[in-house]
Structure 1
Amino acid sequence: MGSSILVIEDSTSIRVAIAAALTGAGHSVLSRDDGDRLELDIAEFRPDAVLLDVMLPGSDGFALLEVVRRRSDAGILMVTARDAVADRLHGLTEGADDYIVKPFEMAELVARVNAVLRRRGRSASTMHIDDLIIDPDAAVVRRAGVSISVTATEFRMLCFLAQRRSRVLTKTQILTAVWGYEHYDPNLVEVHVSALRRKLEEHGPRLLHTERGLGYTLDSARPTDVPS
């Protein structure tokens, strides 16, 4: 399963983009626009890594860094527009594992998060569902030993479903996790589920199941699945 990542970033657009990129890489993400619930989130979500924006309303990222270090052994990546050497040294000296300056490419951010997780021995593992193999780090999908070509959106959706294997996920939950916004047309989910399902079923029985009136679940093949 993927690692659990807590993201604290006050910019909505950046927060949504980070969450989408990390979810697409196979991680489970909880995002907040401030650190008011940090101690509770650490206790309940138990993050493997925390991304902290330095410039936050209320307690800034450096203050939150101290809280994380007292309450958790999670990896910490500081995310900020500040590029001063003093700021970088401050974060690293106080216990941050890495530091990335805005603007940045999401691919670089994901790579840095994965590197922090590996150094702390908390890297995401490959996910298996029957003969389906999903490698979040390498962005590889294989079934029955055959590589399956999927789009970036399909990969994010597949990782999100695989992380929550056997759980029924609604269209709204999938929209929020994959597209980062719950008010997109829910038909987007149907279209991408159908496309992903066709690709998976070229190499074996159905794994992506429709739960009538509820949503979708990724699980082992069933003898009786309702077609959609």
Structure 2
Amino acid sequence: MTSTTAARIALVVEDERTINDALAQRLRAEGYQVEQAFDGPSAVDLAASVRPDVVLLDVMLPGFDGLEVCRRIQAERPVPVLMLTARDDEADVLVGLGVGADDYLTKPFSMREVVARVAALLRRVERAAALADERPAALRVGGVGIDPGTRRTTVAGEPVHLTPTEFDLLLCLAREAGQVLSRERLLRDVWDWGDAWGSASATRTVDSHVKALRAKVGAARIRTVHGVGYALEDLP
């Protein structure tokens, strides 16, 4: 157990009890306080009462699905959400990211990977809070305005709502606008993943988030360099 995770509350939302219990047991072994829910309504109620630091959320749930749970939780207060899905369909992933999920894992997954993803999500939250305290200067790349302190974004002068991951991704690209950043670099700087994450699922994670971000800031603003990575273009 580490002091970093000792006070953290994780909410596990999964209707298959075997999987739910296995996730809860592993997270408790890592030092997390864990709450468990097995359907949509109880997940929303628990999130409101215990105010978790992170949510592990299955997509397919009784009552109402994980996408609706994510919408309701995020409407109450921002919290990092790791979606758990049995399907790797891009449309499903993009919908999940669109309602506020920060990351996703496709079943079957290893408990080691779950723990690492949860820890990375929490480190990113801490990093974002520290950055806000520093009140860094706002950035502008063409028609896109980014304020790291308030975590607000505008496109052509109009406010645009980004998820925490989308904001971190845009900020990373904006700090080196015009330069091509590799997927590995983005995984390290945005997701806080180490070299061990150079897998197909890691690549899909970056690509899915870039696609979701393009839908909000304009597809032409993020250039793809096939086989390498992405660059933010200085467009009006």
TM-score, L = length of structure 1: 0.52
Aligned to 2:121: 116
- Give unpaired runs (5+ residues) of structure 2: 1-5, 128-236
Aligned-pair identity in percent equals 47
- Give unpaired runs (5+ residues) of structure 1: 123-228
The structure with the largest helix share of the pair is: 2
SS at match of 2:116: helix
The separation in 1 between residues aligned to 2:105 and 2:91, in whole angstroms, is: 14
| Count of matched residue positions in the alignment of Structure 1 and Structure 2 | 123
2:61 matches 1:72? no
The separation in 2 between residues aligned to 1:115 and 1:101, in whole angstroms, is: 17
Q: Which is bigger in relative contact order (C-alpha 8 A, separation at least 6)?
A: 1
Deviations 1:60-117 (A, max 9, x none): 0111110111112211010010110111111112211100010000000010011111
Query: Which has the larger displacement, 35-44 or 23-32?
Result: 35-44
The separation in 2 between residues aligned to 1:83 and 1:6, in whole angstroms, is: 23
Residue 39 of structure 1, CA deviation: 3.5
Aligned to 1:89: 94
**8 Å contact kept, 2:44–2:69:** no
Residue 40 of structure 1, CA deviation: 2.7
SS at match of 1:37: helix
2:19 matches 1:8? no
Residue 12 of structure 1, CA deviation: 0.8
The separation in 2 between residues aligned to 1:58 and 1:35, in whole angstroms, is: 5
RMSD (Å) for aligned C-alpha atoms: 1.7
Instruction: Choose from 42, 67, 70 the match for 1:37.
Output: 42
Aligned to 2:209: none
Equivalent residue letter for 1:34: D
The runs of at least 4 aligned residues of structure 1 exceeding 4 Å deviation read: none
The separation in 2 between residues aligned to 1:33 and 1:39, in whole angstroms, is: 11
TM-score, L = length of structure 2: 0.50
2:115 matches 1:104? no
